[in-house]
Amino acid sequence: MATVVFFHAHPDDECILTGGTMAKLAESGHRVVLVTATRGEHGEVADGVLKQGETLGDRRTEELGEAAAALGVARVEFLGYVDSGMAGTPENEAPHSFHRAELDEAAARLAAVLRAEQAATLVTYDEIGGYGHPDHVKVHQVGVRAAELAGTPVVYEATIDRDRVTALMRQAASAGELPADAGGPDFDEATFGMPAARITTRVDVSRQIPAKRAAMAAHESQISPESWFLTLPVDRFALAFGQEEFIRRGAATGAAETELAVV
């Protein structure tokens, strides 16, 4: 049995990007540890979702615990930074925001978890954080540096296959299955995912769809039960979320792994 540490920016990122892989590793007997940089204090939330006196950070912390349980996560840790919000907002420049954190200080916090867990593998994000969010970009930077500090031998970057998503969205648009606010099927290459040629590892998580969907549902403040994510028919949900993509740092071009390497 080995330990794999997944490093994410906010509660709910873990299930959308890597939930199936986390569940699959846990089912195989590996120890799965989830580290989240922030508690998602500045996420969007609809009126009436929070209880009286409840903060969004408290709510998302509770939701993360429920999602982690659904995925078989053995330990959940927070780095202790505050959600940075989106680029250009006041939250993004706040002194305790993750975006503003000193790189080596934040990396040292994560490296301490990696060492304590004797992690065989770390999962972080690609260099644009999947879609350009400041906290996600910082996760990439901190994750890479933390692995260097801790000597973690294998590092993966969770990502999105831009070409695959484009094809799926065109197919859904042709079938009239996209929500009205979904936008077009073409993405800005500078801010969304990576081209298929960059992907080294594609993990089939179709058997873990129930766990992944349950984890998404646990994040009710961010993923409404009426959302497109959770109202998709089971077969369409599996098509959209039944494969998770990664880039293994240092892997040769053209690598075609079907599982994460766990030493």
pLDDT at 183 over 60: no
Cα–Cα distance, 239 to 233 (Å, whole number): 10
- Per-residue pLDDT band at 1 (split at 50, 70, 90): confident
pLDDT at 203 over 80: yes
Mean pLDDT of the chain: 90
The region of weakest confidence among 6-20, 78-92, 205-219 is: 78-92
The region of weakest confidence among 37-41, 156-160, 228-232 is: 228-232
CB half-sphere exposure, 9, CA atoms < 13 A:
30
Residue range 146-168: average pLDDT? 94
Cα–Cα distance, 204 to 215 (Å, whole number): 17
- Per-residue pLDDT band at 90 (split at 50, 70, 90): low
Cα–Cα distance, 214 to 87 (Å, whole number): 30
| Single pTM value for the model | 0.92
List pLDDT tens digits, range 58-73: 999 999 999 999 999 9
CATH (residue range 3-248):
3.40.50.10320
pLDDT at 34 over 50: yes
List pLDDT tens digits, range 213-227: 999 999 999 999 998
Higher pLDDT, 182 or 87: 87
Cα–Cα distance, 127 to 136 (Å, whole number): 9
Q: Given the DSSP bridges, would you call strands 3-8 and 31-36 parallel, antiparallel or unpaired?
A: parallel
Per-position DSSP letters for 14-51, written without gaps between them = HHHHHHHHHHHHHHTT-EEEEEES---TT----TT-SP
pLDDT of residue 73: 98
Residue 225, both tokens: 């039960």
